[in-house]
Chain A
Amino acid sequence: MSNNTPVISIRGLSTHFGDHIIHNRLDLDIFKGEIFGIVGGSGAGKSVLLRAILGLTTIKHGTITILGKDAGSLQKIMKNQLQKHWGVLFQGGALFSSLTVGENIQVPMRDMENMPKDVAREMSLIKLKMVGLNEEDFHKYPSELSGGMVKRVALARALAVDPEILFLDEPTAGLDPISAAAFDELILTLRANLNLTVVMVTHDLDSIKRLCDRLAVLVDKQAVVGTLKELIQDDHPWLHEYFHGPRGLVALSELKE
Chain B
Amino acid sequence: MMEKKALDKPKIEILSQKDRVIFKPYGLWVARTIRDVEQTCDEILEKTYPKFLIFDLSKLEGFDTAGIWLLQRTIKKFEDMNYKVELLNASDSFLNLSAQLNLYKPSFEKVPVQRSFFEDRLVNIGIATKNLFDLTVNLIVFLGEIAVGSFDVLKNPRRLRMISIFFHLEKFGLNAVMIISVIAGALGLVLAFQGEEQLRRFGAEIYTINLVSISVVREVGILITGILVAGRTGSAITAEIGLMKINQEVDALNTFGLNPMEILIVPRILALIFIMPILAFISDIMGLLGGGIMVLISLDVSPKLYIYRIGEAITMGSFWVGIIKAPFFGAIIGIVSCFEGMQVQGKAESMRTCTTRSVVESIFLVTLADALLSVFFTKIGI
B66 contacts A by Cβ under 8 Å:
yes
Q: How far is the CA of A192 from the CA of B349 in the complex (A)?
A: 40
Whether the pair B35, A193 counts as a contact (CB closer than 8 A) is no
A161 contacts B by Cβ under 8 Å:
yes
Within 8 Å CB of B110, what residues of A?
134-136
Known: A97-B349, A141-B347, A162-B65. A119 touches B34 (CB 8 A): yes
Whether the pair B96, A161 counts as a contact (CB closer than 8 A) is no
A189 contacts B by Cβ under 8 Å:
yes
Q: How far is the CA of A74 from the CA of B110 in the complex (A)?
A: 41
Q: How far is the CA of A142 from the CA of B73 in the complex (A)?
A: 30
Whether the pair B32, A84 counts as a contact (CB closer than 8 A) is yes
CB-contacts of B324-347 with A (<8 A):
346-347
Identity of the chain B residue whose Cβ is nearest the Cβ of A126 in the assembled complex: B104
B105 contacts A by Cβ under 8 Å:
yes
Whether the pair A189, B348 counts as a contact (CB closer than 8 A) is no
Whether the pair A123, B100 counts as a contact (CB closer than 8 A) is no
Whether the pair B112, A130 counts as a contact (CB closer than 8 A) is no
Instruction: Type the 1/0 row for B85-105, where 1 means its CB is closer than 8 Å to any CB of A.
Output: 000000001001100110111
One of B32, B93, B348 near A98 (C-beta < 8 A): B348
Whether the pair B97, A128 counts as a contact (CB closer than 8 A) is no
Identity of the chain A residue whose Cβ is nearest the Cβ of B100 in the assembled complex: A189
B257 contacts A by Cβ under 8 Å:
no
Contact residues of B: prevailing secondary structure: helix
CB-contacts of A137-178 with B (<8 A):
138-139, 141-144, 160-162
Within 8 Å CB of A195, what residues of B?
93
Count class of interface residues, chain A: 20 to 34
**Closest Cβ of chain A: how far from B187's Cβ, in Å?**
38
Whether the pair A138, B112 counts as a contact (CB closer than 8 A) is yes
Whether the pair B106, A193 counts as a contact (CB closer than 8 A) is no
**Closest Cβ of chain B: how far from A190's Cβ, in Å?**
8
Within 8 Å CB of B65, what residues of A?
123, 126-127, 162, 194
Within 8 Å CB of B66, what residues of A?
115, 119, 123, 161-162
**Closest Cβ of chain A: how far from B238's Cβ, in Å?**
18
Within 8 Å CB of A113, what residues of B?
31-32, 34
B70 contacts A by Cβ under 8 Å:
yes
Instruction: Type the 1/0 row for A82-114, where 1 means its CB is closer than 8 Å to any CB of B.
Output: 001000000000000110000000000100011
Whether the pair B104, A193 counts as a contact (CB closer than 8 A) is no
A35 contacts B by Cβ under 8 Å:
no
Which residues does B use to contact A, with CB under 8 Å? 30-32, 34-35, 38, 64-66, 69-70, 73, 93, 96-97, 100-101, 103-108, 110-112, 114, 346-349
The 8 closest A-B pairs by CB, nearest first: A125-B106, A162-B64, A135-B110, A129-B104, A143-B346, A161-B31, A143-B347, A193-B97
